[in-house]
Amino acid sequence: MKKLLMASAVLIAASVSSFAASVTYSSNFGPTTTTFLAATPLSQFDPALGTLTSITFGITGTSTGSVTVTNSSGFDDVYNVNISTTLKMRTPLNVILTQVVPVFNDPAFAVANMTTGTDSGISSPLSNSSTITSGFAPYIGTGTVAFNVFGSGSSTASGATPNTVTSTTSAKGNDSIIYNYIPTPTGTPEPATMGLLGSALVGLGLLKFRSKKS
């Protein structure tokens, strides 16, 4: 009996999940020199599509930059270079939704004594996301939400001192919003969906019959 109940529950869950859908909107930013604030408006969820169940906010970014080191330490040395950017996807009220810190690292940048060298690079893309299951009101409508991406950079070179370090950083990427929802029913359900529901109902009916019989 327990197996039958579990099987029926699985069938019902499968039939319900078959209605699930999602729609994604995204906006690009950069490449822009840090520090920057980029407007990334994204579409609201059209309530005509159905009922929202969750919203996922995402951001992907890469850091680019260069570091110039003048070595006046009195001897040759190897410098550890880091180029990074903190990228934050924010609401119109500047509440942080999700963020990433893509980093380029060169641990062996050689600069001879009394010379100047420049190291540059680009990080691998880095992504992050967060999901909410309530508080949907600001994201429902037929307009846009004025999201923004705030980017701040940091480029460093650690090694022999004294030295002089100058740097530039920039970043690019995209942010996105995924609306997960149950579509508003339109027309006749698909045969496969009806079959799943029918099987589930038959299973539950049989379970009820056996319970009465016992």
**pLDDT given for residue 88 in this prediction:** 98
Angle at 183 between CA 179 and CA 184, to 5 degrees: 135
Looking at the fold, whether 2 and 32 belong to one and the same domain comes out as no
pLDDT tens readout for residues 30-54: 999 999 999 999 999 999 999 999 9
Residues 6+ apart with CB under 8 A from 163: 69, 70, 71, 72, 73, 79, 111, 157
pLDDT tens readout for residues 147-181: 999 999 999 999 989 999 999 999 999 999 999 99
Burial of 12 (0-12, 13-18, 19+ CB in 10 A): middle
**pLDDT given for residue 192 in this prediction:** 52
**Hey, is 202 helix, strand or coil?**
helix
Give the whole-number percent of the chain exceeding pLDDT 70. Answer: 79
Looking at the fold, whether 132 and 51 belong to one and the same domain comes out as yes
pLDDT tens readout for residues 51-106: 999 999 999 999 999 999 999 999 999 999 999 999 999 999 999 999 999 999 99
Give the whole-number percent of the chain exceeding pLDDT 90. Answer: 76
Looking at the fold, whether 39 and 85 belong to one and the same domain comes out as yes
Q: Where are the beta strands (DSSP E) in the chain?
A: 21-33, 36-39, 42-43, 50-71, 77-90, 96-100, 103-111, 115-122, 126-132, 144-145, 148-158, 163-183
**Hey, is 205 helix, strand or coil?**
helix
Looking at the fold, whether 54 and 102 belong to one and the same domain comes out as yes
- Residue 127's Cβ-side half-sphere holds a number of Cα atoms within 13 Å equal to 7
What CATH number is associated with residue 116? 2.60.120
CA dist 130 and 149 (Å) reads 15
Of 90, 20, 24, the residue nearest 53 (C-alpha): 20
**pLDDT given for residue 10 in this prediction:** 46
Looking at the fold, whether 177 and 200 belong to one and the same domain comes out as no
**Domain range enclosing 146:** 21-186
Looking at the fold, whether 212 and 147 belong to one and the same domain comes out as no
Query: For the whole model, what pTM was predicted?
Result: 0.79
Looking at the fold, whether 126 and 164 belong to one and the same domain comes out as yes
Looking at the fold, whether 120 and 173 belong to one and the same domain comes out as yes
Looking at the fold, whether 130 and 49 belong to one and the same domain comes out as yes
**pLDDT given for residue 5 in this prediction:** 44
Of 59, 50, 67, the residue nearest 26 (C-alpha): 59
**pLDDT given for residue 14 in this prediction:** 46
CA dist 202 and 153 (Å) reads 61
Please count the structural domains in the chain.
2
Looking at the fold, whether 77 and 128 belong to one and the same domain comes out as yes
Of 98, 26, 95, 102, the residue nearest 64 (C-alpha): 102
Does residue 19 register a pLDDT over 50?
A: yes
Looking at the fold, whether 204 and 105 belong to one and the same domain comes out as no
Looking at the fold, whether 150 and 71 belong to one and the same domain comes out as yes
Does residue 186 register a pLDDT over 70?
A: yes
